[in-house]
Structure 1
C-alpha cells in the first residue's frame, strides 16, 4: 500500500506539472493581460514596458513558464493584473476564495452524502414501496434540475421564510445575499444561530443536487450486491436480514458512492460558482469568472493549479478507499 501511494503521488505530481504547462501555454496565447491598462487615460508606453518586464511578458513562453513554476513551488504565485495598484498577491486571493468555497462545499457534500446513503439504503431494503417511489421521484426531479434553478428556488424560500419571521416579530434569520462573515461573536447559541442562518441556504442548494445522485447510486448498488453469491451464502447460513445488510451488503455497496463522492467533491469545490453567484459569495467560482473577464493570467494559473490538485487528491483518496471497503480488490 505504501509503494502504491508513493507511485500514485509521483504520478499525480507529474500529471499536475504537465497540465500546468499546457494550461500556461493556452493562457499565454489567449491575449495580452496589459491590454486594458493600455486604454486607461495617462498610460504611457514606458509604464507598459516596465509592467511587461515585471510580469515577464517580454520573455519567451518557455522562460515565462519556468520562472512561474519555480516561483509557484517556492510559494510565490505571482501578482494579479486586476489588483496591480494594490500590489495584489495571487496566493492570498486564491486562498481567501478557497476558504469561502470550502466552507460551503464541505457542509453540502457531507449533508448530501449522509442523507443520500441513508435514503438509498432504505429504498433498496424495501424496493418498489411507497418510500422507494417517493425517494426515486424526488431524486429524479432534483437530478434533472440545473443547480442554478435549485439555488433560485431555495433562495426564494429563504426570502419568504424571513418575511414570515418578521410578521411574527422575529429577526430575519436566513442570509440570502452577501458573503459570509469572517467570524461570529456572542454566546454559543448566538454563534450557532448566525452560522446556520448564513450557510444553510447555499449549502442546501448544493446538497440537494448531490443527494439526488448519491441516493440513486446507493440504491442501485445495494440491489446489485444483494444478488451476489456471498450474500446468498450468508443468508443460507441463517444470518439475520439486518446482519446480512450491515456486514455483507452495505460495505461493498459503498464503492460506487465513494467514486461519485470523490469525483463530485473535487468538481463541486471548483465549480460551485453558480450557487456563489446566486447568493453573492466571492468564492472560487466568482474568482474564476473575474480572472477570465479581466484576463488575469497568474490568477487563472493559481485557480487551475488548486482545482487540479484537489481533483487529483480526491481521485487518489477514492483508490485508497476501494481497498478498504472491498477486500477482494488487490492493489498491485
Structure 2
C-alpha cells in the first residue's frame, strides 16, 4: 500500500501539469481581453475625449500589465512558475495567480482562499446527506426490486435528476422566503451564508444557529440534485451483489434473507459508494456554482461566476486549477479507500 501511494503521488505531478496546461490553453482561447479592452475604449473615446493614439497607448499598457505582450509559451511558463519576471505577481507554485482585472488591491490567491470555507461547508453538508440518502434508498430499492417502493424511489430519483439546479434552487429559495413571511420569522436564511450583522453580534450558539439557518436551503438543493445519480449507482451495485454466486449459495444453504442482505450483500455493495464519496464531494462544486449564485453566497462558486462575467482570466484559471488539484487528490483518496475497505484488493 505504501509503495502504491508513493507511486500514485508521483503520477499526480504530470497529471496536474497536464491539467494546468489545458486550463491555461482553454482560458486563453476562450476570450481576447486585449481586443475587448480596445473595443471598450473606442466606444468610450467620445465621452473621455480619447484620441486614437491614446487608445492604442492604453491598450499597449494593458497588454503589458496582464502579460499579453508575451508569447503563449512564455505566458504559460510565467503563470506556472513565476521565473523570468521580476514583478512578483505570477507563478502558481509560488502562490501567485496573476494580476486581476478588478484592480491591484484584489489579490486572487487570498480572495479565493477566503471563499473556500463557505463553499466547503455547503458541499460537505450537501454531499454527506445526498450520499447517505443514496445509500439507504438505493439499497431499499434494490432489495425491493420491481415493487411499489422501488418504483416510487426510482421516480423520485429521475425527477431530481431532471431538475435544472438553478431552477430548483430558485424554487427552494422562494419557498423559504414564503415560509419566513407566513410565519413572520427569519428561520431560513436566503441570502449569504450568515446574517449581515456579522459574527460579533452573536454568542457561540446563536452564531451556529444563524449559519445553520442559512445552510439548510442550499443544502437541500445540493442534496437532492446529488442524490439522484448516486441512488441509481447504489441500486445497481446492490443488485449486482444480490445476484452474485456467493449470495445465491448462502440462500441455497437456507440462510435467512435478512441475514444474507445484512451480512453478505450490504457490506460489499456499500464499498463502491464509499470510495466514490471523496470524488463526489469535489465534483459537487459544479452544483455549488449555481446554488451560490441563487443564494448569493460569497463562496468559490460565486468567485468563479463573477470572474467569468468580468472576464478576469487569471481568476478563472486560479479557480479551475484549484478544482483540478482537489479532483486529483479526491481520486487518489478513493483508490486508497477501495484497498482499505475491500480486502480482496492488494496493490503491488
TM-score of the pair, normalised by structure 2: 0.83
RMSD: 2.6
> Corresponding residue for 2:86?
none
Q: Does 1:73 align with 2:89?
A: no
> Corresponding residue for 2:186?
172
Partner of 2:240, secondary structure, is helix
In 2, distance between residues paired with 1:323 and 1:237?
30
In 1, distance between residues paired with 2:183 and 2:321?
44
Partner of 2:189, secondary structure, is coil
Partner of 2:69, secondary structure, is coil
> Corresponding residue for 1:229?
245
State how many pairs are aligned.
Answer: 326
Q: Is the 8 A contact 2:119 2:300 kept in 1?
A: yes
Q: Does 1:251 align with 2:273?
A: no
In 1, distance between residues paired with 2:327 and 2:142?
30
In 2, distance between residues paired with 1:25 and 1:137?
42
> Corresponding residue for 2:178?
160
Q: Is the 8 A contact 1:231 1:248 kept in 2?
A: yes
Partner of 1:330, secondary structure, is coil
Give the 3 Å change call, closer, same or farther, for CA 259–184 of structure 1 in structure 2. farther
Gaps of 5+ in 1: none
Partner of 1:272, secondary structure, is helix
Structure 1 residues 1-332: aligned runs within 5 Å: 1-35=1-35, 39=41, 41=48, 48-70=59-81, 71-81=91-101, 83-84=102-103, 86-166=104-184, 171-181=185-195, 183=199, 186-187=202-203, 189-236=205-252, 239-258=255-274, 260-332=276-348
For residue 20 of structure 1, report the CA deviation from its aligned partner: 1.2
Q: Is the 8 A contact 1:158 1:174 kept in 2?
A: yes
For residue 292 of structure 1, report the CA deviation from its aligned partner: 2.6
In 1, distance between residues paired with 2:202 and 2:191?
22
283-292 or 194-203: bigger deviation: 283-292
Gaps of 5+ in 2: 82-90
Partner of 2:115, secondary structure, is helix
249-258 or 28-37: bigger deviation: 28-37
In 1, distance between residues paired with 2:112 and 2:127?
21
> Corresponding residue for 2:84?
none
In 2, distance between residues paired with 1:135 and 1:14?
42
For residue 185 of structure 1, report the CA deviation from its aligned partner: 5.1
For residue 286 of structure 1, report the CA deviation from its aligned partner: 2.6
111-120 or 196-205: bigger deviation: 111-120
Deviations 1:206-253 (A, max 9, x none): 101112222222222212201212223344555554443233212221
Partner of 2:320, secondary structure, is helix
For residue 109 of structure 1, report the CA deviation from its aligned partner: 0.4
Q: Is the 8 A contact 1:251 1:325 kept in 2?
A: no
In 2, distance between residues paired with 1:136 and 1:101?
30
Give the 3 Å change call, closer, same or farther, for CA 222–62 of structure 1 in structure 2. same
Q: Is the 8 A contact 1:254 1:325 kept in 2?
A: no
Q: Is the 8 A contact 1:251 1:326 kept in 2?
A: no
Give the 3 Å change call, closer, same or farther, for CA 26–138 of structure 1 in structure 2. closer
Q: Is the 8 A contact 2:20 2:321 kept in 1?
A: yes
In 2, distance between residues paired with 1:180 and 1:305?
28
TM-score of the pair, normalised by structure 1: 0.87
For residue 173 of structure 1, report the CA deviation from its aligned partner: 1.1
